[in-house]
Amino acid sequence: MAHEDRRLQVLRAIVQDYVSTNDPVGSKALAARYDLGVSPATIRNDMAVLEEEGYITQPHTSAGRVPTDKGYRFFVDRLSQVKPLSAAERRAIERFLDGALDLDDVLTRTVRLLAQLTRNVAVIQYPTLSRSAVRHLEVVQLATNRLLLVLITDTGRVEQRVVEIPAVTDAPAGTDPVAELRTLLNAAFVGAKLAEAGVKVADLLDTAPAHLRGLVAAVSATLIETLAEPGEDRLLVGGTANLTRGGALDFPGTLRPLLEALEEQVVVLRLMGEVAPSTVLVSIGEENAHEGFTGASVVSVGYGSAGGTADLALGGLGVVGPTRMDYPGTMAAVRAVARYVGQLLAES
């Protein structure tokens, strides 16, 4: 229907205009800037309908219209195609991320890059342990009753845990229980997905030499616990200074809860938890469960497919900004960066 088409165009124009100017947009300005082929009066009629349907709203009786969360949602869902990044942006990504050495470095750079590209807050999650595979396990004795267990995954993530161990009393003379343990653990776990660790642990407990049982049990317990605890998924945040762009306009009085939520990593991690590498997820304003985010939008995507057909990401990354953000641009940036990061991690 012609009506509907034009109304959609009008909505789109309102969103674009509002995003770029941050001023409520009126019928006249719209007609002038976006030649829609109709007069302001007609646009006014369309706007009245759009308002009635809840896509836009008037901040004050005599101001222009502003998109509602629902309006942004509609806009995002109807994005015909994600606009590709400019060549300059692509180059920036490469320049920024190439030369990163270890995992920390990659993630730190990524978060900075993303914050800079989108001029918003960027977040990135460390590769989930449970979806990584073991590359190496190292055991260092700290004291007679304490070991340091260092886990190195195939994504380059290094985790350490202190393990309290029972005293080893019945070790055969001339053997080094810790060295034995190391060999044993590596033989059992290297190459295995951490999600499968539970099974391997059971095996190990059966097959380990008697005098090592105690050690193995203690270490295994810690290992499993480490994986189970979702809090262990760490998060990197960058570009918080961007929250202050546009003065207090973008986040009217809500800056504080937002900063708190960002530090309270769990909140963000929950958002990231369900993200797949294939589709960019957009969560707008009130759609966000957590109160700190109700004035903000989150654009996120998974990176580094864990491989195969299963569409599980190693971790998520994304951008947090005002509802009034450049969705197409942000979505494109987030996606491009995620791809690049996935690639980098796969290489190492």
Partner DNA sequence: CGCTGGCACTCGGGGTTCCCGAGTGCCAGC
Partner DNA sequence: GCTGGCACTCGGGAACCCCGAGTGCCAGCG
Number of residues that bind DNA (CB under 7 A): 28
Least distance in Å: CB of 152 to DNA? 57
Does residue 102 bind its own copies (CB under 8 A)?
A: yes
Secondary structure of residue 133 in the 3-state scheme: strand
* CA 89/CA 117 separation, integer angstroms: 8
How far is CA 166 from its chain centroid?
40
Does residue 255 bind its own copies (CB under 8 A)?
A: yes
Q: Which does 38 bind (CB under 5 to 8 A by kind): its own copies, DNA, none?
A: DNA
Does residue 21 bind its own copies (CB under 8 A)?
A: no
- Tell me the window of 18-26, 203-211, 232-240, 309-317 that interacts with its own copies (CB under 8 A): 232-240
Site for its own copies in 303-332 (CB under 8 A): none
* Residues in Cβ contact with 303 at an 8 Å cutoff, skipping those fewer than 6 apart: 277, 313, 314, 315, 316, 317, 338, 339, 341, 342, 345
- Tell me the window of 40-48, 121-129, 295-303, 323-331 that interacts with DNA (CB under 7 A): 40-48
Does residue 71 bind DNA (CB under 7 A)?
A: no
State the binding string over 266-305 for its own copies (x if CB under 8 A, else -).
----------------------------------------
Report the residue number, 122 or 197, with the smaller CB distance to its own copies.
122
Q: Which of 199, 192, 242 is nearest to 220 (CA)?
A: 199
Dihedral sign, Cα of residue 52, residue 57, residue 63, residue 65: negative
For residues 140 and 182, is the Cβ–Cβ distance under 8 A? no
Does residue 158 bind its own copies (CB under 8 A)?
A: yes
Work out the angle at residue 240's Cα, subtended by the Cα atoms of residues 239 and 246, and round it to the nearest 5 degrees: 100
Least distance in Å: CB of 254 to DNA? 18
For residues 295 and 254, is the Cβ–Cβ distance under 8 A? yes
Does residue 35 bind DNA (CB under 7 A)?
A: no
**Cα-based distances in Å from 3 to 31, 41, 42, 43:** 16, 14, 11, 11
Out of 45, 57, 116, 186, the residue judged to bind DNA by CB under 7 A: 45
Q: Which does 63 bind (CB under 5 to 8 A by kind): DNA, its own copies, none?
A: DNA
Q: Contact residues for DNA (CB under 7 A)?
A: 2-3, 6, 23-29, 37-42, 44-45, 47-48, 51, 58, 60-65
